[in-house]
Every structure is written in C-alpha cells, then in structure tokens.
Structure 1
Amino acid sequence: MKTKAILLSLMLITAFGSKTLAQEKCATLGSLFIEPAKAKNYEGALPHYDKLVAECPTYSMATYQYAEKMFKYFIKQGDNSKIAELDKVYNLRMQYYPAKTKEGELMMKMAQVKYDNEMGTKMEQFNNFDAAFKKDEDEFTSPKSLYTYFSLAVDLYNAGEKPIDDVFDLYDVVIQKIEKEEGKLASALTQLLDKQEAGTKLSSKEERKLNAYEKNLSAYGTVKGSVDGKLGQLADCPNLIPLYEKDFDNKKDDINWLRRAAGRLSAKDCDTPLFFKLVQQLHNLEPSAKSAYYLGKLADKDGDSSTALDYYNQSAELETNPGDKAKVYYSIAENFRKKGSYGKARSYYMKMVEVKPSAGIAYLKIANMIAKSANSCGGTVFEKRAIYWKAAEYADRAARVDGSIAGNARSTASAYRERAPQKSDIFTEGMAGKTITFSCWVGGSVRVPSL
C-alpha cells in the first residue's frame, strides 16, 4: 500500500510539474510575441508567432488580436503574402475561441482585405462579401464594407455578369441595413442629447459615447449618399419605367414584384401612368399599408390633399416596418406643412422621429417652420427675432442625428443664429440670461445668452 501511494504521489508530482513547465513555456513564448506586438514592433514580434500558435494555441486571445494587427500592418506595407496568414489567424481564432468570436464579422474583414488588395475576380470578391452578410447580417456593420458590397454588384451588372433586378434588390437590402444602424445610433445619441439639454452634465464616458455616435452617424450618412451615387442613373425614371413596363403583363399577379416596382417608382417620383397601374393592381390584390401610401401619393399629385391624408392615415395605422412608417408620417407632416398647419405638421414630424430617430430631415423641417413663424411669435421685435434661436436648436439636432444632411443643417443653424439678436441687441434690451417663452404654436422657451 505504501509503495502504491508513493508511486501515485510521484505521478501527480510529475504531472503537476509538467503542467507547470508547459505553462511557463507558453508564458515565455507569449511574452516574446505579445510584448513587441503591443508596442507595434511587428518585425520583432513576427519570428515568435508561429512557434506560439503551434505549441500554445490557447495561451491567450490576445495572441490572435495582436496577430491580426501585425499581419494587417505588413499587408499595408505591400506584403500580400501575409493575406493568407491573416486568413489563418481568423480561422485559428474561430477554432480556439468560438464563444468570443463573431464569424460573420471576421468574414467581412477578410473580404475587405482581399478587395483592397485586388485579390480574385470581382465576382469572387462580391461572393466573399455576400457570404459574410448572409452569415451574420447583424455583425456586418462596417460602412466601408457595406458600400464595397453594393459597389461590386453594380460593377458586375455593368460587366454583364449580374441582372439589374439583383442590383435593385441589394440596394434595398443595403439601404435598409444602413438605416437600421443609423436608427440604433441616433436613438442612443438622442438620449444623451436630451440629458445634456436638460442641464445634466455628461460623464467623460458619456461624452466619448456621444462623440462616437456622431462620428459613426456621419460615416453612415456619407455611405448612404455614396450608395445612391453608385446606383446613379441605373435607377432613374428613364431606366425604371421601360424595365417595369416590359415586365408588367407577366408580373402583374406577383405581389412582391408589384411592391418593389411601385416602391422604386415612388422613391424616384416617376411621373408615369405605369405607377397608377401598379398601385391599383397592388391594392386590388392585397390592400395594405404600402398600397394605401402610394394611393395617397397619387392623390397628393392630383392636388387632392384631403383624400391623400385619408390614405396616409390608413397607411400609418397598418404599417409595421419602422422605416416605412416614418415615410408615411413624413408625408402626413408635409401635407399639413404645405397647408400652413405647422402645429399639426410638427406632431407628425415628431412621430417620424419616434419610429426613426435618425430622421434629421424632420428636425430640419421643424426648424424651417419655426423660422417662418418669427413675425407671429412674440410681442416685441426682440422676442420675434429670438425665435431663431429655437429654430437653430432644431437644425443643430438635425445635424447631430443625421450625417447625410449634417452640412446643410449646420449651415441652416448658423444662418438662423445670425438672424437672432446679437450681443449689442442683448445689451441694449437688457435681456442677458433671461428666458423668453413663446405663446404661439411653437411653444417652449429659449434662454438668452449671457454676455
């Protein structure tokens, strides 16, 4: 019994010792690679990488995080042989750290690297992005990659390798994805802006978040414009109308085709009898929020704003998609704005923002209505001009939540502030630091700047 106990003890000591030695070895190998990589000394880190992943592949996730940065550095320096190495890094990370790895995101990153370095045909490059998007759409969030994905589809159409319908379908998908990401960012940004405007000081962490949200919204706004620009004349009315006229008789019982065709003609405001035929057929086959919305647009074009409003309200009640519901609210708001019913228009612009927080155009329209009401809001010249401060606040918010109109919105805000009372006016009237309340439809108040 004593002999067996001694042997067991020796075995445990040996096993423990071996494990300790292995851990020490991995720690040494890890340090040799990670420390120089952390300092961006990639030439010093590279010689130790292969031995580390061969002998200690599960030493640390940091191994693969720094390896990604290292190989991207060498690729940027022009060493395309490292592209295959980067691909291996992603595969190893997925193999050894699956719970901490988003496969779709890595596929997207790899697709972008191959595209940037002109690896493969355009079709192969497109298929790489397509596979990544379909693997995990939620993680496909890079504005640059979203643009590249769509841009390749247009290039393939121009080369005769993709049908135009595929390009249009992908356009819808990419724009919807961009607007989804904008919505999430704008919603988070709005919460911080509301907190800030209520007089609560943001923490340093919240300030960083606010700046990041604005930066990312600006990037998505730029990409949305680039996607529209890439689609260019392909989706102009002179191309769309003959395309859908040609297919109408064969597709008139295909509800999905009718929806897409009517949607694209509507988005481009194509003035054609075909639009009426599409909408009527769609409404006959499947009365819906979409068909009611299109009938509203037709009534608007005919100058029948009352009928248009009825259709828009029907559409708003039936619509479940936030982006499409926002379009309906926008149309209703525009209907009231054109009639001069600014208070009602504002309520629908704000409904639009509730379902689509990144709808900066709603804030900008409100800003313009407020500015146009200057002469009817306030008892004195000073008070009437003070309304421009309120208009500028709305224009500022438009710029912050919607990168696609930020430049125009900031210019508008600046122009309105120039029309507001200046320092000399504030001093002469003795209004510094006072609050002015508006009793007209605008409501609310502004605080006059202190001198």
Structure 2
Amino acid sequence: MNTIKNIFILLIIALPTSILAQNGNKYGETENEQILCKEALSVYKSYNKQKNYSEAYQQWEKACDVCPDRVQESLYSHGALFLKNEIKNADQAGDETRKAVLIDSLMWVYDMRMELFPSTTKKPKNRCGVLGRAASDFYKFHKDSAEVAFEMFKESIECLEAESSASVLSGYYVTSFYTMKAINKIDKEAGLVRKAGMLTDYLMLMEYCNTAIAVAEEAGKERDLKGYARAKANIEKTFIAIAQCDDMVPVLQASVEAEPENFDLKKKVLSLLTNRECTENELFLPVATAIYDQEPSAKAAYAIGMSYAKLSKLNESFDYMEEAVSLCDSCPEQATYLLKTGQIASALKKSNTARRYANQLLALEPENADAIMLIGDAIASASNSCNDGALGKRSVYWVAHDYYNRAKRMNPELSEKADKRMSKVSKQYPTIDEVFSLGLQAGGTFTVKDVAGCPCSGESTIIRVR
C-alpha cells in the first residue's frame, strides 16, 4: 500500500513540471529560443493594441522568424490583419509589385492557419471558418478569378451551413454568379446547369441567413443582425438578376426532366416559382400537383390554387385554397393564404365566406388594410343577398364605400385601388327621388336591415345619392 501511495505522490509532483515543459516547448526547443519567441510575440502584440499596425507588422515578421509554426493561432489571425493593412498601404502608394507579394503572403497565412489549426476546442470546424475568410480576401484581390473563390466559398459553406458568416454567404452567391457567366461563354449547356444550381442555392442561402438572424436576435447581437440582413439583400439582388420568369422556367424545366424522381428538387423548384410568381407556365402546375399528391402541404395546395385562379378556374382554385388554409396552422404564410382565399371566395360571389376569411385575417393582423378592402368587395357583390324590398339592395354600396375609404386611410398605398372601387360603387347609389320616396334624405344615417345571408346586416352607414 505504501509503495502505491509513494508512486501517486511522485506523479502529482511530476505533473506540473510536465505541463510547464509542454507549454515551454511550444515557444522553442531551447530556453533561449523560448525567450526570443515570447519577447517577439509580446512586442508585436503591444503595437497591435496601440493600433500601430505598420510597426506591429515589422515585429510580427520577427516573431514568425523566431517562433515555432504552432506557437499560437493568433500569430496567423493577427498576421492576416497586418498584411491587409500593408496591402492597403501598397495600393495607395501604387506599388503593384509589393502589393502582389503581400497578397501571396496573406494567402500563405491562411493556408498555414488551416493546416496547423484545423480544429480547436472552441471551434471544432475552425478550418472551414478560416477557409471562408480566405475566400473573401482571395476574391477581394482576384476579381478575375471568381471560379477559384467560388470553390473555396462552397467548401466552407458545405461544412458550416447556417454557421457560415454573413460575408461568406453573400460572397458565395456573388462568385457563383460570375462563375456562371464565365462558364456560359465557353459552354452554354454547362452554364445552364450552373444557373439551375444558383436558383436552388438561393433557397438554401435564404434558409441559412434566416437561421443565423434568429440566433442573433435571441443573443441580442445587433452587429450580426445587420450583417446577415445585408447578406440577404445582396443575395436577393443577385437572384433577381437571374430569376426572371422567362429565364427561370427553361432552366428549371431542364433540371426536373434530368431528375424526374428527385422530390426535393421539385420542392425547391415550386418554392422558386411561387416566390417569383412564375405560375403561368407549363412547369408550375405539374410540379405543384406532383408534390401535393406525395406530400400534401399548405404551400403546395396554395400553389395549385393560385395556378388554377390564373387559369380562371375559380371553383377548382377555391377548393385548393381552402385546403391551404386548413393545412396552415399558424404557418408564416397564414395571412397570405387567408387573404387570397377570401378574394377568390368574393370573386365566386361567396360573400359571407369571403368576409369570414377577412375577419380571420384581421384577428391575426388587426391593421391589415387588404382585409378591409376584401370586406368591401364581399359586401359590394352581395346586393341581391341584402334585398329587403326597399333600399337594402342599394345600401350595400354605401357600406362597401365606407370600407374602401377606411382601407385607404389605413394604407395610402391602396389609395388608387380604393378610389377606383369607390367610384364604381357610387354609380350604384339610388337617385335622390328614390331616397325621398322612402321618407329619407341624403346625408342621413341608415342601418342595413337584418336579411338572412346579407354580409353587412345591422351595419350603419350614410345615405348617399348618385
């Protein structure tokens, strides 16, 4: 027992010495090398804290000479900072030769950092993050080599996914665009393949940006929020340049035909066509129906419903639109589904149904002016339903006018549409003689009689004449 105890004590005594030896060795093999390295690191870091980057760069070079390669990862992260400052100075001085050498050095620093520190305790995927930074700087200084930068961005994003930085997500899509243009000059068919990739990549990048924004919001990181918002805007700008319907449809059609059993591809294609409102083509309805048959969803039902609506097949459209509302349990598109379903119901003269959907939308978004417009439409189309044998049939136009005017006040962007609606219903007002014959007068208050099926029964309005 005493022998085991003595061995244990010896191990405890020896452990700190071992750790100290390991920590010392990272600065050099000999004591003198360690002293020189620590001193060099301390000096350049001191200048870095002072933001004297030019002097810090000079001292950093000395640290690179006297320290082992694996001394610290910060040797390489600081080196990238100093080199970019030197590149800027060389550019301002017009020294292109020195600038080119410094850019090569910057890429070497990134390569060394990835090779020596591919994974750390805090960042298991450290290499992927560094690769993204390298891609950003490579493209910044080599605009004519978008294809090379694109492959770097691609590898980084495939590794990090939603953990990718905002600049990497944006840079990937921009270089993808210029890669597509370069390929297209050589091989049109290959260019179309790359374009198809860009269209589906857009959805992936938007998903990553939205995930990152949600994380930043929860953490209260305002800087990250702004960064990812800018990235989304840049990606959107690039996407719009390639996502015109006439351009998109042939590319997506070819992709679907090349992989007819690829269900995930069809879902991406449907999202793209729906988001860009490219629904009036021969691709949209077959893709939407194929997805719905295999995997019924609110999004697919809505897509099919809208497609039928544009073909003026309103009854078929309405069935799918109601299915979309039913399948959408607090989904992000709920407001859109309610509004569109209500509008189609109104077009089918289903006035009470249209108003019901408008009311559901208002319960969700009380300040939604489009819902108020929809109520006006539902009432305006219900004159026969409100016929009480007197002014009931005409009164719906007064009430509809009130709703249109209210929508206009709520959202000035609807002014033109609301004015046209008000002008139209005003032509259906009764004459002054019709009003007078019933013992009423213009400007007086009128309450719509309670008639079964009338969507505005009991509502009060102002008597108007044409």
Residue 196 of structure 2 corresponds to which residue in structure 1? 168
The size of the alignment, in residue pairs, is 326
Which residue identity is paired with 1:326?
A: P
1:270 is paired with a residue of what secondary structure? coil
- The yes-or-no answer on 1:326 pairing with 2:332 is yes
Task: Indicate the larger mover: 286-295 or 246-255.
Answer: 246-255
Residue 311 to residue 76, structure 1, CA distance change in 2 (3 Å): farther
Residue 40 of structure 1 corresponds to which residue in structure 2? 51
The answer to whether the 8 Å contact 1:186/1:213 transfers is: no
The answer to whether the 8 Å contact 1:279/1:294 transfers is: yes
Residue 111 of structure 1 corresponds to which residue in structure 2? 135
Name which of 154, 171, 175 aligns with 1:145: 171
**Residues of 1 paired with 2:224 and 2:358: CA distance?**
31
Which residue identity is paired with 1:93?
A: R
Residue 262 to residue 62, structure 1, CA distance change in 2 (3 Å): closer
Residue 296 of structure 2 corresponds to which residue in structure 1? 288
Name which of 80, 84, 98 aligns with 2:119: 98
Residue 182 of structure 2 corresponds to which residue in structure 1? 156
**Residues of 2 paired with 1:126 and 1:185: CA distance?**
23
Residue 68 of structure 1 corresponds to which residue in structure 2? 80
Deviation at 1:186, TM superposition (A): 4.7
Which residue identity is paired with 1:98?
A: S
Residue 333 to residue 316, structure 1, CA distance change in 2 (3 Å): same
The answer to whether the 8 Å contact 2:199/2:272 transfers is: no
The answer to whether the 8 Å contact 1:38/1:66 transfers is: no
Residue 53 to residue 139, structure 1, CA distance change in 2 (3 Å): farther
Q: How does 1:193-212 map to 2 (within 5 A)?
A: 209-210=221-222, 212=223
**Residues of 2 paired with 1:91 and 1:216: CA distance?**
26
**Residues of 2 paired with 1:153 and 1:264: CA distance?**
21
The answer to whether the 8 Å contact 2:213/2:228 transfers is: yes
1:163 is paired with a residue of what secondary structure? helix
- The yes-or-no answer on 1:278 pairing with 2:302 is no
Which residue identity is paired with 1:88?
A: W
Residue 337 to residue 292, structure 1, CA distance change in 2 (3 Å): closer
**Residues of 1 paired with 2:342 and 2:235: CA distance?**
27
Deviation at 1:72, TM superposition (A): 1.2
Which residue identity is paired with 1:37?
A: N
Name which of 39, 47, 56 aligns with 1:28: 39
Residue 80 to residue 140, structure 1, CA distance change in 2 (3 Å): farther
Which residue identity is paired with 1:129?
A: F
Deviation at 1:67, TM superposition (A): 1.2
2:100 is paired with a residue of what secondary structure? coil
Residue 328 of structure 2 corresponds to which residue in structure 1? 316
**Residues of 2 paired with 1:243 and 1:156: CA distance?**
17
Residue 390 of structure 2 corresponds to which residue in structure 1? none
Higher-RCO chain (CA-CA 8 Å, sequence separation at least 6): 1
Structure 2: where are the runs of 5+ without partners?
1-16, 92-98, 344-353, 377-405, 414-466
Deviation at 1:182, TM superposition (A): 3.0
The alignment's TM-score, normalised by the length of structure 1, stands at 0.59
| Deviations 1:18-49 (CA, angstroms, capped at 9, x unpaired) | 97655433221112222223333333223332
**Residues of 1 paired with 2:195 and 2:100: CA distance?**
31
Which residue identity is paired with 1:332?
A: Y
Residue 361 of structure 2 corresponds to which residue in structure 1? 345
Residue 158 of structure 2 corresponds to which residue in structure 1? 134
Residue 153 to residue 366, structure 1, CA distance change in 2 (3 Å): farther
2:158 is paired with a residue of what secondary structure? helix
Q: How does 1:1-12 map to 2 (within 5 A)?
A: none
The alignment's TM-score, normalised by the length of structure 2, stands at 0.57
Deviation at 1:345, TM superposition (A): 1.7
**Residues of 2 paired with 1:106 and 1:288: CA distance?**
42
The answer to whether the 8 Å contact 2:362/2:371 transfers is: no
Structure 1: where are the runs of 5+ without partners?
1-11, 193-205, 350-364, 376-386, 396-407, 409-451
**Residues of 2 paired with 1:171 and 1:249: CA distance?**
16
Deviation at 1:277, TM superposition (A): 3.1
Deviation at 1:73, TM superposition (A): 1.3
**Residues of 2 paired with 1:32 and 1:179: CA distance?**
44
Instruction: Report the structure number with the largest CA radius of gyration.
Output: 2
The answer to whether the 8 Å contact 1:296/1:307 transfers is: yes
